[in-house]
Each structure stands twice: as structure tokens, then as C-alpha cells.
Amino acid sequence: MPDLSEFVSFVARKSKVKNTSLIEKDVMLHRILKEFCSSPLSANYLFKGGSCLVKCYFGYYRFSVDLDFTWRDQEAWKGLGEKKLRRKLSAEIKSLASFLAKVSGELNLEFKVEPGERKFMEFGGGGRMATFKLWKGSELIKIQVNFVEKLLFSPKFARARTLLDGVKLSRDERVYFGEFLDFYRPFKLMAYDGREILCEKVRAILTRRAQKLRDFYDLFVLSTYGFKLEDLRGEIAEKVRASLYYRKYRENLDRNRKELEVDVGTLEDPFERSLLMVKPRKDFEDFLKLAREGLREIAVGVISGGTL
């Protein structure tokens, strides 16, 4: 039977993608996502973020290194006092952590259900946000979940694809790699609307201290498909205001209001560059200049409480 490294080499050959370490991570992410969406837990969550853009919307314009979800039924938290909310969030976190421990064991990843151990689990806002860290040696796979979130658009069914989407495979290849192709294949799930992803991408940029090339490139790709920052200013402001429960977000928003810079270090970061499937288009830098001004204007509007 083939092992993971042989399957990764097979995917590299078929997809004509050379970076085998990122292919391996994509295979593992897809396995975790597939297992999650096949479990009863999945009914409570929505897939989102850059991984969702790549797998469900625009194809592999870049690699992803994590998975992001939001709790679907936000009405479940309404009317709860802080103490009761924390208890309920703690129960959901334990359920999700137990699932990830099981999947990690199957994938030979290191993960332990130890809430006090930051190597594996981190929390924010009294459990409103949780980050689970799965390790393969020094390589990190991050699963981030927002349990309390302001949802502005209805979710939709989407199809999560792989690097082999549209690639013709022979019968012998399907049989030989059957164990891997059982999970490394397209499947349906519930996902964010593209507009919701754009709003949260902007929020991430405005409330983050250190910027990442991938977030700006995601905005650029969204814009090329008609999802424009200028069309969603009010919704973006609403998203940002709802997140200001977190002190570090308030501090970073104020900093970015004064000076949101995308320096050469951000644009040329070797790891971030390695995630891109192709070199950024020439008009990306022009987009950045315009977007930066628009982002600062949104930050100013949020802090002043004015309309945008």
C-alpha cells in the first residue's frame, strides 16, 4: 500500500505543483475538514476564511495552512449571562477538542486536550474564540473557531475541492491510491458567503498588529471576482465594532487608524510568498495603495462612530 509521501508525490505530478511540503499540509487539512464535515459536530459550524476562498470559491491561487470556523447558531448565546455563557462555551470547546484528538491520532499528529497547555490550545474573550494547535514535528496546523460572532449574510452550501479537482485519473491510479482518494476528494459543506469572508478579512487586517501578505492578496482576489471593499463599508464597520470586545483589537485598530503600512518585509516575506501559487500580478501593488487608504478610512469611521 502507498504511504503519504508517495501520495503527495502523485498529487504533485498530477497537479504540476512542486512544493510537496505544502501539498502534504493540504492533504492533511482536507482530511481533517472531511472528517469534521462527516461528524455530527459539523451541523453547528460554518467553514470560512482563506482556506474557504481557496477550496470553495476561487481555486488554488494560494495554499492555506489553517482551517477557520464560526459557530452557526448565534441565537444560542443570546440572553445568557456571562457565567452560563462560559459554561456552554467550555462544553463545546471540549467536544471539539475531543474530536481533534481522535483525528490527530489517526494522522499521527501531536495534540492533547489540555486547556492549560498553550502549545495545543489557546482561548480569547472568555472562550468566545478558541485556537487548536496540531503538530507534526515543528510544523503547525491551526484550527481557529469563533463561537461568538456577528453574522451579516446567510451561509450557503459550497463544494470543498482539492488539487486533483478536474484532473483525470486512470482506474489503476484510483485503485492504488484509493485509501487517500476516499477522503481527498470534493464534498459539500456549509460555508460563509463571500461577502462575509471579505468583511472578516478586512477586520483581521484592521485589528492585527503584524500584517500578512496572504490577507491582502485574498482581498485582491476577492476584488477581481466582484467582491469590493467599497461596496461593503457599512458591513465591515459593523463586523469590526462587534469585535472590539477584545482589548488588543481596540489597541491595534487605533494603531492602524493612524498608520496602516504594508512594508517591503510584509510583501517579500519568504514564507508568505511560498504560499502563493503564482507570482502576484503587477496590478496587485496598485490595488494595495488604494485599499490601504480605504482601510484607514474605515478604521477612522469605526473609532469615531460615524457613518461610512
194 three-class SS: helix
Residues 240 and 174 in one domain: no
Which of the residue ranges 22-31, 81-90, 173-182 would you say has the lowest mean pLDDT? 81-90
Strands 121-124 and 129-136: antiparallel
Non-local (6+) Cβ contacts of 245 within 8 A are 125, 128
Strands 66-71 and 139-146: parallel
Residues 126 and 272 in one domain: no
Residues 125 and 242 in one domain: no
State residue 134's pLDDT score. 97
Out of 192, 208, 238, a domain closes at 192
Residue ranges making up the domain that contains 2:
1-192
Out of 146, 176, 192, a domain closes at 192
State residue 285's pLDDT score. 85
State residue 16's pLDDT score. 95
What is the grid cell recorded at 118?
A: 498553550
Q: How confident is the model at residue 165 (pLDDT cuts 50, 70, 90)?
A: very high
Average pLDDT over residues 30-58: 97
Residues 139 and 219 in one domain: no
Non-local (6+) Cβ contacts of 73 within 8 A are 44
Residues 23 and 161 in one domain: yes
192-228, pLDDT tens digit by residue?
A: 999 999 999 999 999 988 889 999 999 999 999 999 9
What is the grid cell recorded at 142?
A: 491551526
Out of 192, 227, 262, a domain closes at 192
Q: Number of structural domains, the chain?
A: 2
> How many whole angstroms separate alpha carbon 266 and alpha carbon 272?
8
State residue 306's pLDDT score. 54
**Per-residue pLDDT at 264 exceeds 80:** no
Chain mean pLDDT for the chain: 93
Helices (H), 107-177: 171-176
Alpha carbon of residue 55 to chain centroid: 11
The helix or strand, by DSSP H or E, that contains position 141, with its residue range, turns out to be strand 139-146
What is the grid cell recorded at 288?
A: 494595495
Residues 253 and 185 in one domain: no
